[in-house]
Structure 1
């Protein structure tokens, strides 16, 4: 498995927010807690409530900018930063009988802040001091003399025996702002999650909160099966937060997340359980300059949403010509996620990136999140090194000081699951452009029950086309190869001003929806798509 630092940097060289004119992040480093706060509460066993109280108290005072890391680390480029290697034999818990061991990321390059780290052992808190002695500087021999003995850590990664019983593989990493990512058995790193999103894709610019302090709970003997618990303190100009992650690796790596958020200021839009991924092109993309010899290049190929009504909706990802934001009302949300449904190597042909091994990530609310919407943001991108896909839940409730927020959920890092949805789902979306005024779509549906249906079984396709286009033709039939059903249809673009004909980017996206109805009255998931004349 590749080192997470290499994979993460691939996306962070040009941060996600810069593609939509968002503000540069002001990060937080070390916080000196006030008397009686979480880090000093030694009289009782340390629990999540200590972190929650610390976040609540911190929200009553203004945000404090972080201290600077040494100038020598600011100047590091990516290649030089990569040459600084953590010494595996110095891993925390590495020489104990713990099923986990922890390694640290060196600050520098884009990671221009450090985080405070603690370990909780038997309810007692001890600081984790990260010093130069933990790193190999043999390829950057002039650097150590320019650094203090205690350099701190930009983040950390956790290793355990997830693939074989005898080797501890890296399976989860916390590094950069509130970003974290994980893998399940047999997977490679792909998409990321974040603690919280603030004003994503808004004109005033996005604010990026930071996990500035962590507490890692040492599992009690015999408790490894219950996973590893990590507490985190979130901070930014607009809010603070307390998070608890209970992380259980395996064929699915599961994270149970508890979050308490305390606004400092009114916030226009807050994104809960935000996910960030990459889509350069796929089977649904029109031919273009972004493509190379590989058939597809993406970490995730679409958004899946399970609504309170019971409907399942699949929205294939696209790489748009201009910023594209889609919103889906989702009161009493059951779940959402960015999935990599395509898990066939032949559709990628990349022996290094192995995109077919990238995880899907499914978010399941624990408790009722109330009214709100799921939002998907797609950003134009010319290279696969950039994150350009985001998805999150936006609550309707007002976010303002004195109104703390509580959102608990489960994250499932897994291979594209056949049980999401449990019925008939979309397996591929393909498109062509016969001429500048039309588009043709081929959508394949598959499900466990379909191959067993009698040859005479039928499916009725229900296709909806939004303003700006009309349905020209449609056909639905059994796919003799897959045993599923194939829907084909064509649309024609309508209207458009002279300016829009000259500048097609000025035209609004046209919403398309389709689903299948079967003889037994059941329905497939809903296929949802946005298409703009003149765009891929």
Structure 2
């Protein structure tokens, strides 16, 4: 997945407003945007192009004058503003105007943009005149055919803030993101993941090289976007149905179809991938290095297995790169979630409490495979160090084809919460042992809090649930359950005695007379990740 600094361009809605700016009456008059010749377009045509391309040698995307593009750093890029009066679909021709990103230091590959109306596609051609930029901007020295880096969709063109507020963005390789119900950007999705965290094999980052943006006649219709994917080992065609609607509190929904074709063998093919950031939470080695209580875009991986089990795996900032696998047959969904919505737990103006959760729901069955969770060490919040994706059991060999059909829900909470079990709300880790006695160096205390009033209120007064906890290494000591004051929260507490430099996979749930009360909490514990904080 590569710990690459992409977070400079994870603009919040407020930052996007500053980037776009408002139209000015002082701008000089200029010709309208230039459109290419029309041609027939269909998704089937794009799929066939991807299939044919997989049988041909790979050709890398166009990189106009890389030396100049490298000079368009974060500061310079922020001064380049697309002129919203030239946005496709800004008038009567559609509901959601499209605006475009300029090339920059982190996004140096040219991406072709097309507008589709009534089955006819026309290229929206790049011109520096489409952007306001300083006279001394390095971008002015780029060739006239440089192209765009990506695009975003603005809010409904009937809204007063459409010029300054966007809701979905495609930018960089095959990355894309959307705001959630709280109007905030956070984690990202990707087209595919190729050989992430494979020893001695570099990760490959295929690119969306062409986009085809169809009009939506009214704001309650989806915007249909098709994309061509190209990389040394893979090609593909994607069709996105991007659904916003007038009720902004519902977040963003996407339906995605993808047809993938392999040019070469791939050791780890990650499908429907999600990418996020986790520095530290209530626990973690970096918590004494920063003034904020928590810093993360997501705090856990949620799984809904094919058998119906609900699993919650809190995220880690590990001492070294780790990959955790969760084998399954036809999972019902998975996602990287931001469950902690309390501002006091972050105390940060970048609004981590408002970052969206992202849930993947397969529409077509996936068969046998595994959800893999990739965690990479990080020492700052600017790095995306978390990945989650589906890896099929079917071999990813040259000539193979994969078809996907799934939904993505960008919301505050997962769209299909379990009704009959409580959710894990907090994971706390500290020194173990008994109060009033010296704290042993090899014992650690865990406290896992579960909350769901409708479930927890069923526990009779004076009755305590059973804590079922197992570990792959070490010894579990004194597990017990206790109610947390001032709420319908129950806490499972236990100590783990474990040798140095030993990793443990811990699994826990609470039950009452054999009936599960909670989802299954799973955690990968490496004491080396906690020692600096302790």
The 1:263–1:522 alpha-carbon spacing in structure 2 relative to 1, beyond 3 Å, is: same
Q: How far has the Cα of 1:523 moved from its partner? A: 3.8
Residue matched to 2:259: 260
2: distance between equivalents of 1:75 and 1:349? 34
Q: Does 1:375 align with 2:372?
A: yes
Equivalent positions of 1:388-403 (< 5 A) are 388-403=385-400
Equivalent positions of 1:83-232 (< 5 A) are 83-96=79-92, 98-138=94-134, 140-141=135-136, 143=138, 145-161=140-156, 165-168=159-162, 169-203=165-199, 204-219=201-216, 221-222=217-218, 224-232=219-227
1: distance between equivalents of 2:322 and 2:429? 18
Match of 2:470 among 461, 464, 471: 464
Residue matched to 2:27: none
Following superposition, which runs of at least 4 residues in structure 1 exceed 3 angstroms of deviation? 4-7, 39-42, 142-145, 286-289
Could you tell me whether the CA contact under 8 Å between 1:436 and 1:533 is conserved in 2?
A: no
Q: How far has the Cα of 1:225 moved from its partner? A: 1.5
Residue matched to 2:461: 455
2: distance between equivalents of 1:132 and 1:528? 52
Residue matched to 1:433: 431
**Partner SS, residue 48 of structure 2:** helix
Q: Which sections of structure 2, spanning at least 5 residues, go unmatched?
A: 1-5, 13-35, 433-439
Residue matched to 1:534: 528
C-alpha RMSD of the superposition: 2.2
**Partner SS, residue 507 of structure 2:** strand
The 1:357–1:7 alpha-carbon spacing in structure 2 relative to 1, beyond 3 Å, is: farther
Could you tell me whether the CA contact under 8 Å between 2:281 and 2:287 is conserved in 1?
A: no
Q: How far has the Cα of 1:325 moved from its partner? A: 1.4
Could you tell me whether the CA contact under 8 Å between 1:137 and 1:143 is conserved in 2?
A: no
1: distance between equivalents of 2:285 and 2:69? 43
Match of 1:491 among 487, 492, 496: 496
Could you tell me whether the CA contact under 8 Å between 1:102 and 1:159 is conserved in 2?
A: yes
Superimposed CA distance per residue, residues 259-307 of structure 1 (whole angstroms, 9 cap, x where no aligned partner): 1100011111100111111111111225655x31111000000100111
2: distance between equivalents of 1:102 and 1:40? 19
The 1:520–1:303 alpha-carbon spacing in structure 2 relative to 1, beyond 3 Å, is: same
Could you tell me whether the CA contact under 8 Å between 1:280 and 1:297 is conserved in 2?
A: yes
Q: Does 1:238 align with 2:229?
A: no
2: distance between equivalents of 1:519 and 1:95? 63
Q: Which sections of structure 1, spanning at least 5 residues, go unmatched?
A: 11-38, 495-500
Superimposed CA distance per residue, residues 314-356 of structure 1 (whole angstroms, 9 cap, x where no aligned partner): 00011111112111112111100000000110100102x1000
Could you tell me whether the CA contact under 8 Å between 1:180 and 1:192 is conserved in 2?
A: yes
**Partner SS, residue 313 of structure 1:** strand
Match of 1:517 among 506, 511, 515: 511
Equivalent positions of 1:35-74 (< 5 A) are 42=39, 46-70=41-65, 71-74=67-70
Aligned residues: 485
**Partner SS, residue 54 of structure 1:** helix
When structure 1 is superposed on structure 2, of 473-482 and 372-381 the one drifting more is 473-482
Could you tell me whether the CA contact under 8 Å between 1:7 and 1:189 is conserved in 2?
A: no
Superimposed CA distance per residue, residues 106-149 of structure 1 (whole angstroms, 9 cap, x where no aligned partner): 112111111011111001111111211111112x4253552333
Match of 2:356 among 349, 359, 362: 359
2: distance between equivalents of 1:90 and 1:40? 18
Could you tell me whether the CA contact under 8 Å between 1:277 and 1:389 is conserved in 2?
A: yes
Superimposed CA distance per residue, residues 207-241 of structure 1 (whole angstroms, 9 cap, x where no aligned partner): 1111011111112x34x422101000111101100
**Partner SS, residue 226 of structure 1:** coil
